[in-house]
Structure 1
Amino acid sequence: MQSQEILQQILAHLDLWDLGINNADIYYIEHYFKSEIVILDKNKSIARLKLLVNKSPYKHQMMTGVKQLAVFLSSVMQKLEQAFPYCPDNLKPTIKEIHSLVNESEARKLAEWGIAVNELSDYELLQLDHEIRFSFKESFYKALGILYKIEALFSLAKAIKVHKLVFPQFSTNNEFEVKDCWNPALENCTRNSFYFENNKNIILLTGPNMSGKSTFLRTVGLIACLAHTGMAIPAVSATLPFFDSVEICISIQDSLTEGYSHFYAELKKVKTMAEQLKNGHHCFMIFDELFKGTNLSDAARCTAVLANGILQHPDSYCIFSSHHTGLMAADPALQNQLQFSHVETLIEDGVPRFTYIFKPGISNIFLGYYFLQKEGIDKLMNVSGH
Structure 2
Amino acid sequence: MSFIADKQTLDDLSLLGKYNTNSVFSLFNQVNTRGGEKLLDVMFNHPLTDADAINSRSKAFRYFHDNVFTFPFDAALLTRAEAYLEEAGDSSLPVALWRTGRKRLMEILVKEDTYPLLQEGISNCITVLKSGARALQQLENEGRDKNTPWENWAGIIRSITRDERLKAVLEERAPAKRSLLQTARLHHLLTYVFQAHLKTLLELTYEIDVYITVAGIAREKGFSYALASPKEKNMLHAKGVKHPGLAKAVPNTLSFSGNSNVLFLTGANMAGKSTLMKATGIMLYLAHMGFPVAAEEVQFSVLDGLYSSVNVPDDLNKGYSHFYAEVLRVKKVAEEVAADKRLFIIFDELFKGTNVKDAYDATLAVTAAFNAFTACFFIISTHIFEVGEELKVKGNNIQFVFLPTVMEGSVPKYTYRLQPGITADRQGMIIIENEGILEML
Residue 428 of structure 2 is aligned to residue 368 of structure 1: yes
Q: Which of 1 and 2 has greater Rg?
A: 1
CA pair 26-276 structure 1, distance change in 2 beyond 3 A: same
CA pair 149-45 structure 1, distance change in 2 beyond 3 A: closer
Residue 307 of structure 2 is aligned to residue 247 of structure 1: yes
Number of corresponding residues: 371
CA pair 202-214 structure 1, distance change in 2 beyond 3 A: same
Residue 362 of structure 2 is aligned to residue 308 of structure 1: no
The farther-off stretch of 346-355 and 159-168 is 159-168
- Matching of residues 1-386 of structure 1 within 5 Å: 1-15=55-69, 18-29=70-81, 42-43=97-98, 58=113, 61-79=117-135, 82=139, 83-88=144-149, 112-113=170-171, 116-129=174-187, 132=190, 140-141=198-199, 143-170=201-228, 174-196=234-256, 199-256=259-316, 260-327=320-387, 333-334=393-394, 337-380=397-440, 382=441
**Could you tell me how far apart the structure 1 residues matched to 2:235 and 2:119 are?**
62
**Could you tell me how far apart the structure 1 residues matched to 2:100 and 2:253 are?**
77
Deviations 1:17-51 (A, max 9, x none): x443444223444666799xxxx9944998x9988
Deviations 1:86-144 (A, max 9, x none): 434xx8567656777x6799995698356654242344225534665688777755543
What's the secondary structure of 2:307's corresponding residue? strand
**Could you tell me how far apart the structure 2 residues matched to 1:104 and 1:279 are?**
55
Q: Is the 8 A contact 1:9 1:86 kept in 2?
A: no
Q: Which amino acid aligns with 1:26?
A: L
Q: Which amino acid aligns with 1:245?
A: G
Identity across matched positions, percent: 26
**Could you tell me how far apart the structure 2 residues matched to 1:371 and 1:254 are?**
27
Q: Is the 8 A contact 2:72 2:135 kept in 1?
A: no
CA pair 21-320 structure 1, distance change in 2 beyond 3 A: farther
What's the secondary structure of 1:20's corresponding residue? coil
> What TM-score do the two structures reach when normalised by structure 2?
0.70
CA pair 7-45 structure 1, distance change in 2 beyond 3 A: closer
Tell me how large the CA RMSD over aligned residues is: 4.0
The farther-off stretch of 226-235 and 125-134 is 125-134
CA pair 314-30 structure 1, distance change in 2 beyond 3 A: closer
Structure 1: tracts of 5 or more residues without a match: none
Deviations 1:263-318 (A, max 9, x none): 34433433332223222222221111122222222223222232122211223221
**Could you tell me how far apart the structure 2 residues matched to 1:270 and 1:106 are?**
65
**Could you tell me how far apart the structure 2 residues matched to 1:244 and 1:74 are?**
44
How much has 1:338 moved relative to structure 2?
2.8
Q: Is the 8 A contact 1:77 1:111 kept in 2?
A: no
Q: Is the 8 A contact 2:239 2:295 kept in 1?
A: yes
* Higher relative contact order structure (alpha carbons within 8 Å, sequence separation ≥ 6): 2
Structure 2: tracts of 5 or more residues without a match: 1-54, 88-94
**Could you tell me how far apart the structure 2 residues matched to 1:337 and 1:43 are?**
78
